[in-house]
Amino acid sequence: MSRVRIWDGTTPWLVTRYDDVRAVLSDARFSADASRPGYPVSSEAVKISRERGPWFVAMDDPEHARYRRMLTAEFAVRNVASMRPMVEATVAELLDGMAAAPQPVDLIEAFALALPSIVVCRILGVPYEDSAFWQEQSKALFDVTSPPDVGRRADNELRAYLDKLIAEKERDPGDDLLSRLATTYIRTGELTRRDAVSMALLLLVGGHETTAHMIGLGTLTLLNHPEQAAAVRDGDDATVTSAVEELLRLLTIVHTGRRRVATEDVEVAGVRIRAGEGVIASEPSANRDPALFAEPDNLDIHRTANHHLAFGFGVHQCLGQPLARLELQVAIPALLRRFPDLRVTAAEHELRFRDEMITYGVHELPVTWGSAE
């Protein structure tokens, strides 16, 4: 437990051990409400966005639970499992596109970012042809170094785009999540358009950024461990599932921690955190706690009892985790099977890692295969 200084000069507590992180994330005395004084917002751009329309992940129960219930069925394990044929077909189509393209290919643009973007568009009912626009805005929003005017402009443009789209779905609904929000909740007055826009913003941005960079960074990690990459390529479903969980643990790409603020004095690990003090629960650190994980800095796709916290913990853990798991379990082995000699064409020190983004990864990952130079 230690104090750290963040971008706005405040000094929240940093919680790093596995048991302590779980304790914070499961204790209702630590609020996820970003509007409370003392809450350690991750960047000025995110602060601006949440002030304009709060994201339900930054609310406490019962408000958080009410919004979450509107989406639970959409991301239930059984419903997500029914999407497997669509995900598999999308993966195959993207791999065909890679195979036909001149080499080297940027794996991020051609595959890792394209797959979750296409999938989330189909689920939400967002036109994929607009993806270049909203991907660019989400980058600005998730960049912790974005100046206030850049973050505000990105938030404004995303909200205006989604507001127009939801209004169209109120008039002419389709078979998609945003249409169901419009017809089931907006029409009945249970949800305002403004709140629906905030929900859509969170789902659109969160639904492609995290999975995209798990695919990219996960592939890079496996290529650096050829024997384990071969085991994933040739392995059965159990091996693939175990490998995905290990990549999630080791990489934990939401690397800026889960943010909370104490609503009353609470003791954690012998340290008294006072009411109004911010807390950053570091999942990347918790997921490498040697008290829970043997040789925690090593990739071990056969690791057992892998109770990682990559999707959070407690009532706020990631709603979309069944979809993220499905996409990773389909995408990574399919990529390795299609291109068994896949290799990165740049030295690792030449790669641009996403240190400045809320979601870690690599900006570009040039790859080749076969006899191409």
pTM above 0.75, yes or no: yes
Domain count across the chain: 1
Return all residues near 179 (Cβ < 8 A) that are at least 6 apart: 125, 169, 173
Residue the block writes with tokens 């996820």: 32
As to burial, measured by CB atoms within 10 angstroms (0-12 exposed, 13-18 middle, 19+ buried), residue 359 is buried
Residues 259 and 37 sit within 8 Å (Cβ to Cβ):
no
Q: Determine, yes or no, domain membership for 235.
A: yes
Q: Determine, yes or no, domain membership for 280.
A: no
Per-residue pLDDT of 42-60, as tens digits, reads 888 777 766 766 678 888 9
Work out the angle between the directed axes of helices 131-142 and 148-171 (0-180°, nearest 10). Answer: 140
Six-digit token pair at 287?
């997921």
CA distance 305 to 4: 32
Q: Determine, yes or no, domain membership for 267.
A: no
Per-residue pLDDT of 326-343, as tens digits, reads 999 999 999 999 999 999
Lowest mean pLDDT among 24-33, 43-52, 113-122: 43-52
* For residues 84-100, average pLDDT: 98
Q: Determine, yes or no, domain membership for 30.
A: no
Q: Determine, yes or no, domain membership for 178.
A: yes
Q: Determine, yes or no, domain membership for 41.
A: no
State yes or no: pLDDT of 221 exceeds 90.
yes
CA distance 213 to 211: 6
Q: Determine, yes or no, domain membership for 212.
A: yes
Per-residue pLDDT of 135-194, as tens digits, reads 999 888 888 888 888 888 988 999 999 999 999 999 999 999 999 999 999 999 999 999
Which residues span the domain enclosing 355? 50-255+290-368
- For residue 264, the tally of other CB atoms under 10 A from its CB is 11
Per-residue pLDDT of 267-291, as tens digits, reads 999 999 999 999 999 999 999 999 9
Nearest Cα residue to 368 out of 337, 334, 340, 343: 343
Q: For residue 148, what pLDDT is reported?
A: 83
Six-digit token pair at 129?
């042809």
Q: For residue 56, what pLDDT is reported?
A: 81
Q: For residue 54, what pLDDT is reported?
A: 66
Q: Determine, yes or no, domain membership for 347.
A: yes
Strand pairing category for 343-344 and 258-262: unpaired
Residues 314 and 210 sit within 8 Å (Cβ to Cβ):
no
Return the CATH number at 340.
Answer: 1.10.630.10
